[in-house]
Structure 1
């Protein structure tokens, strides 16, 4: 994570943010710093995945997640330590109910990490989180803090894989990432659906370049300007944009073909420095707008 870019974006949003939005931004600013500090510690211990492997370009072009080719080895003790730090921060700063905060602080993360499928975590971060959520046996120790604990896991596994994700994307050739072929629909590193999309400054000839962002591992990748971020449809008649009055920078792209939506930030209309981790926080309000039946996920 680029903490300087995060600081610039958060500082700009805080100038006129509502109290609840400001509290959320400050919470995530602290969380991002914690994650990056821990990521730096892990990378210093050799925690980043090696990228001297063959077949990265082929995997990228065939939509095979790169972590399947070069998984991150996550040690149980390291993962437990990361979860403990994040859980303590959330218990103190997330505004949780007292019983939830206490339950979160009481979780034995060492025992959980010894039982957890950390091979899956290092290969498919979002799949790991969903597997724990769906496994009553794994989630039982979370008690009243089940919802918060699942967030801890998502934040922790991102911390363990983000350095490797960056290295893997750097190792993919420019031709694979920018050539004249279809871009990966889901995250090319971990396989998760994109969390949001970013359209850059408009060019008079080609329009604004578009990229996708994955919050599960922190990867950003190039994407087609006219395309559904959920199903890949490129039928322009199926795609529509909607935004809240007074905020054209943050939009919902809906798709008639699959009935889903994606959050998209338009750089031309953005009044703050672009930072996709921060935009992911800011645009959470659009998910509430999308509860309207017109915007339901497929």
Structure 2
């Protein structure tokens, strides 16, 4: 994470944010600092070697996540330590109810993760979180630690373990694979998670000013087609629509008539603040509420 850019973005949003949004931005700024500090600690003691470049290129072109072939080794003790730090941050600063905050502070992450499938954590992080939540009774998760809180703590905790290896993977994938005339990966080419958001604008040599997808799970960004559904891959120009809140053209919902899904898209050239995708993920959470409102549809009704 680029903490300096994150700080500039947060400071750019704070003057126009209401009290609740400002508190949310400050919380996530602290969380990002914790995640990066923990990532630096893990990088200092563990090495990760990605698969050979030609193998990575083939996986990239096939839409196969690189971590499935060369998983990150996530030690239970290390992940438990990260979870304890993230849980403490959530309990102290996320504005949770007392019972939820207490459950986070008191959770025994060493015990909870002792029976978890850590192989999944380093090869398919979404499946790992889903598996832990599904097996919560078997793993001894306290009742007060709800499914949502458990999933949130685990997902936030995985990022420090995955982002360094993910950067190595993308550094080893050739520019030809990333920018050739072929379909780009729908899901993260490194960890397989769905894209959290998409960015349009900011012309550069590799991305061509078209679009990139961003994975919040491992921090990977990858080139993507300008007119294409980020969920199902449809290229129907007539079936893909963009909507935005009045007065904010930078943040839009892209909807697809083909699959009925949506994606959040930031148009960087319309932004009034410095761009940091981690911060945009926080800011555009309000669009999820709009997209899930039954009054909203791809036809704009």
Return closer, same or farther for 1:272/1:139 CA change in 2, 3 Å cut-off.
farther
Q: Distance in 2 between matches of 1:39 and 1:207?
A: 30
The CA deviation at 1:219 is 0.6
Q: Report 1:103-118 matches (<5 A).
A: 103-118=103-118
* Residue of structure 1 equivalent to 2:143: 143
Q: How far off is 1:139 after superposition?
A: 6.2
Corresponding residue number in structure 1 for 2:234: 233
Matches within 5 A, 1:188-203: 188-201=189-202
**Normalising by the residue count of structure 2, what TM-score does the alignment of the two structures yield?**
0.93
Q: Distance in 1 between matches of 2:274 and 2:48?
A: 30
List gaps (5 residues or longer) in structure 2.
none
Question: Offset at 1:94?
Answer: 0.8
Q: Where has structure 1 moved over 4 Å in runs of 4 or more?
A: none
Q: Offset of 1:101 from its aligned partner? A: 0.9
Residue aligning to 2:246: 245
Give runs of aligned pairs for residues 31-46 of structure 1, distance below 5 A. 31-46=31-46
Let me know the Cα RMSD of the aligned residues.
Answer: 1.7
Q: Distance in 1 between matches of 2:240 and 2:286?
A: 21
Q: Which residue pairs with 1:18 in the alignment?
A: 18
Q: How does 1:130-209 map to 2 (within 5 A)?
A: 130-138=130-138, 140-146=140-146, 147-201=148-202, 208-209=209-210
Structure 1 segments unaligned to the other structure (5+ residues): none
Deviations 1:142-191 (A, max 9, x none): 32122322211001111111110111011100000111111001110111
> Does the 8 Å contact 1:261/1:295 carry over to 2?
no
> Are the counterparts in 1 of residues 113 and 139 from structure 2 also a CA contact under 8 Å?
no
- Aligned counterparts of 1:52 and 1:145: Cα–Cα separation in 2: 37
The residue that corresponds to 1:260 in the other structure is 261
Change (3 A) 1:52 1:125: closer
SS across alignment from 1:197: strand
Is 1:85 aligned to residue 58 of structure 2?
no
Does the 8 Å CA contact 1:112/1:138 hold for their aligned counterparts? no
SS in structure 1 at match of 2:141: helix
TM-score by length of 1: 0.94
**Cα distance change, pair 138–25 in 1 and its aligned pair in 2 (3 A):** farther
Identify if the C-alpha distance between structure 1 residues 76 and 136 changes in structure 2 by more than 3 Å, giving closer, same or farther.
closer
Instruction: Supply the distance in 2 between the matched residues of 1:97 and 1:271 (Cα, whole angstroms).
Output: 34
**In 2: Cα distance, 1:131 partner to 1:9 partner:** 35
Distance 1:162 1:21 in 2: 26
Counterpart in the other structure of 2:72: 72
Pairs aligned (count): 293
Q: Quick check: 1:210 aligned with 2:211?
A: yes
Query: 1:279 maps to which residue?
Result: 280
Q: 1:265 and 1:93 mapped to 2: Cα distance?
A: 27
Provide the C-alpha distance between the structure 2 equivalents of 1:45 and 1:98, rounded to a whole number of angstroms. Answer: 36
Deviation at 1:270, TM superposition (A): 0.7
Structure 2 Cα separation of the partners of residues 111 and 103 of structure 1 = 14
- Residue 49 of structure 1: CA displacement? 2.0
